[in-house]
């Protein structure tokens, strides 16, 4: 019944036999113990479970683990490099882009994909670019500033 998969998660190859119905988010959380990826709904609306699959933001609560076979997955735990925070992490910290923190990992990874496509987004583009991710605490304004903060630093060349 189980299926063998091999997924690279945050740069490390992971080989497991998993149930075909195992959701990627549960593979990350329950099998690998990467609990930074959160579950906020089961309808792909809230975005708390957003991870990067081959660089693209994907909601991991509606991806089967077997569908990610062979892919490269990045979670919030994989953003820090050599003990240095990613500019998006810095931006969210500097601009108070989070309160309870539950949406934050998904929000940061969704913003990561947005900045890949639009390195210099307007406020409007940020708001629309993040429309797949809900936040109930911040009213989004400081999230917009956080992404702008990161975009500026990333354009200046720090990653």
Among 27, 74, 138, 151, binds other proteins (CB under 8 A): 138
| Residue 80 makes contact with other proteins by CB under 8 A | yes
Among 89, 112, 113, 151, binds other proteins (CB under 8 A): 89
Q: Which stretch of DSSP H or E encloses residue 8? A: strand 3-9
| Residue 118 makes contact with other proteins by CB under 8 A | no
Sheet of strand 3-9, all strands in order from the earlier edge strand to the far edge? 12-18, 3-9, 72-74, 50-53, 56-59
Measured CA to CA, the distance from residue 138 to residue 101 in angstroms comes to: 10
Whichever of 70 and 136 has its CB closer to other proteins, that residue is 136
| Residue 104 makes contact with other proteins by CB under 8 A | yes
3-state secondary structure of 30: helix
| Residue 96 makes contact with other proteins by CB under 8 A | yes
Among 35, 69, 117, 122, binds other proteins (CB under 8 A): 35
**Stated length of the chain:** 159
């Amino acid at each position: 019944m189980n299926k063998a998969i091999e997924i690279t998660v945050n740069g490390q190859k992971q080989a497991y036999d998993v149930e075909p119905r195992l959701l990627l988010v549960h593979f990350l959380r329950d099998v690998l113990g990467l609990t930074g990826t959160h579950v906020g709904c089961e309808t792909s609306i809230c975005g708390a479970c957003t991870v990067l699959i081959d660089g693209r933001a994907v909601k991991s609560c509606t991806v089967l683990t077997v569908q990610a076979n062979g892919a490269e997955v990045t979670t919030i735990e994989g953003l820090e490099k050599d003990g240095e925070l990613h500019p998006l992490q810095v931006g969210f910290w500097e601009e108070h882009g989070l309160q309870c923190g539950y949406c934050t990992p998904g929000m940061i990874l969704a913003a990561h994909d947005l900045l890949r496509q639009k390195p210099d987004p307007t406020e409007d583009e940020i708001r629309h670019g993040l429309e797949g991710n809900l936040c109930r605490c911040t009213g989004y304004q400081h999230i917009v500033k956080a992404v702008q903060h990161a975009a500026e630093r990333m354009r200046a060349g720090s990653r």
